[in-house]
Structure 1
């Protein structure tokens, strides 16, 4: 009898999964198919075609897919190649505490492009992908001006503290914070606009807000001081760099695919003012699918217009890790990072590191996350093109996630991870 095994069936969303099909006919053509329905009811699917080996087995750790959504040996391909049936829809877990993503893996005894009711699988298996480990607690934060969610690992602590921010879509995104808390970090997922009673648009970056958030996190009895880490992507990366440069509480910063100058919104902090480089909407390019490529809308980082808006990285109290995709369609992220590192060295700061990934795009997320090359973001009239190629981007996600955790532990102290 044909068997389909998926190990583990319940795990954190960034954990690798081992898929095997057994007791097939030697050289039998098969399809492995994955699917999930997200919290908005949108279905995601992926499939890969294999030939069973002489023993009648397909082991995704060793077998090479001959077609489908990817080719070659890709043990996690059925996860990172998941695509939405609704175009330009991005998979984001909103309720990270209450429920996992349920992913169904099906095995078909032939090459099946689009499974229908008449296609009966030889075997199926349902797995759970969680964004928090057992015992991780979530606390809604609405204190003073600060809005967000605090994730604490199980146990007495104290734990190294991290502030986590996303980008120009605003709101509150929590899945990365939940995963980091599962690794033993106390993480504040921080909203900074378009959430609850915060401003609906980001007109100005008031760094006092982020200073208040840092002080709030540090005063928690389960948070280990004296300093914090910060991680941000896109606009969140820009703000993370500014926090590292001006806030004494920030001793380590991770900047994922952002600029290193203030763009669109100026920065104010006490008597400090950094003007913003304006956006150039006329420089948008629209691709054949009707999506916007904004690579040039902040202008050329080498232009004189950017010089007055540079974030003074050399003032940072600790190390900075830049994570960039070389095919980022949102910004010239690699060039921005290289210019910032060169500036830091000019002023004698030598603890900045660049992780640069060829053919990776803008949304570098934890491993196993579907590669998103184009999606809608709020307040944008057309979907946004993020760039990247599927497999190189997936590999960038896997490698950078390990390096991010190493970086945080190196500079904040060890964190005890939780297990499923």
Structure 2
């Protein structure tokens, strides 16, 4: 009888652990900005309820924060990849939910833009995770998420020397040639895609991003931008020893997607395919002057509202859009681009990725907190981007690995 009691006690102890030293693990201390942080809490009592808090400081010094409460399993373990919060900043099982759901300390998070800190090694996000029981902190951990690894080198391109304004990000040389990526931002102007270019270089892809308006020496607005300007930049990227000149892909968002499709069609010997986030299938008007023309070729303006042809595109095309885009109808446009490529008997892979309920912020890299409204300084108005934060975040997390897979397939 005594032996049976001992066995029963041992089974009970093994089945429902008591509290020990509480620990929280995020994986490596320094990771690429698009890495998944597998947040795990251990050492709790079985069934304990704790709050997990994520915090990060943005470029302006604001402390962004998200928190959620979780119930430990019978072994005192919480795995955010497998456990839905019981009260939350986000809903459902999402291991990165605390990262994209962070809110600023004041103001409407839908109207605010999170920009990561920038120091000598480029943009980075230092995320602090704490496990709390009421006012008591049980465990903490920190992860630094970097866009440019130590091996990435950066070169600034100037109008005086290079005839373009840009930044070239190169991965550590390995003696091989790799696909190059040419990144273009949208109506925000300037060099908005530098972080994305740095991240792609960290993945081994030489990447160049350029400003084409709203930067010193360039047009102040999106009006009559020569497509030849992009060709000049693409030649610089293709000439790099680490770049396979037969596989230079344009990647753009919004107006940058429009430009990317135009140059893939116009310069098929330089640009060999495109990744298009929230695209248009037609030539859009100037910005903020909608009566102006956006682009020129050989000194002549491209006619607004004409369908962008795709019969000369010489590489794969991935068009990514959300059905709730508040800026323009990017989902039908993405589908039309894909259909037109099929009609043109394009021999390269092409696909439209459509995300129900996602807005204009359907891309690019995932896990940063983003609102659904954006102040357009050039037009002095607020743009309503559509979608909602959870749906946009899910679209980014789904589409970004597919972009990387496309590049790796070249």
Q: Which has the higher contact order (CA 8 A, sep 6+)?
A: 1
Q: Distance in 2 between matches of 1:196 and 1:158?
A: 33
2:232 corresponding residue in structure 1: 212
Q: Which moved more, 1:370-379 or 1:73-82?
A: 370-379
CA shift, 1:48, in A, is: 1.1
Q: Distance in 2 between matches of 1:236 and 1:341?
A: 18
Which position in structure 1 is the counterpart of 2:151? 135
Deviations 1:81-131 (A, max 9, x none): 122234322123473734521111111114xxxxxxxx3422222210100
1:291-310 to 2 correspondence within 5 Å? Answer: 306=305, 309-310=306-307
Quick check: 1:160 aligned with 2:212?
Answer: no
Tell me, in whole angstroms, the C-alpha distance in 2 between the residues paired with 1:249 and 1:404: 20
Aligned to 2:118, the other structure's residue is in SS state coil
Distance 1:186 1:94 in 2: 23
- Structure 1 CA distance for aligned equivalents of residues 117 and 328 of structure 2: 26
Q: Residues 71-110 of structure 1 correspond to what in structure 2 (within 5 A)?
A: 71-85=91-105, 86-87=107-108, 88-93=111-116, 95=118, 97-98=121-122, 100-110=124-134
Q: Where does residue 3 of structure 1 map in the other structure?
A: 23
How far is the alpha carbon of 1:64 from its aligned partner?
1.5
When residues 211 and 94 of structure 1 are mapped into structure 2, their CA distance, relative to the original with a 3 A threshold, is farther
Task: Check if 1:353 corresponds to 2:351.
Answer: yes
2:187 is aligned with 1:188:
no
In the alignment, what sits opposite 1:170?
189
RMSD: 1.9
Task: Give the drift of 1:392.
Answer: 3.0
The count of aligned residue pairs is 372
When structure 1 is superposed on structure 2, of 210-219 and 362-371 the one drifting more is 362-371
* Cα distance in structure 1, aligned partners of 2:312 and 2:300: 13
Q: How far apart, CA to CA, are the structure 1 residues paired with 2:346 and 2:244?
A: 26
What are structure 2's unaligned runs of at least 5 residues? Answer: 1-20, 287-292
The alignment partner of 1:67 has SS state of coil
Taking the aligned partners of 2:144 and 2:344, their CA distance within structure 1 comes to 49
Other structure's SS at 2:369 match: coil
Render the CA deviation track for 1:323-370: whole Å, top value 9, x for unaligned: 111221111001112223333333333643111111222121212222
Kept after mapping to 1: 8 A contact 2:64/2:103: yes
CA distance in 2, matches of 1:31, 1:405: 34
Contact 1:66 1:72 in 2 (8 A): no
* TM-score, scaled relative to structure 1: 0.83
Q: 1:227: Cα distance to partner? A: 4.1
Contact 2:113 2:370 in 1 (8 A): no
Say if 1:252 and 1:408, in contact at 8 Å, map to a contact too.
Answer: no
Task: Return the index of the structure with the highest Cα Rg.
Answer: 2
SS at match of 1:70: coil
Name 1:392's counterpart in structure 2. Answer: 391
Question: CA shift at 1:272, angstroms?
Answer: 5.7
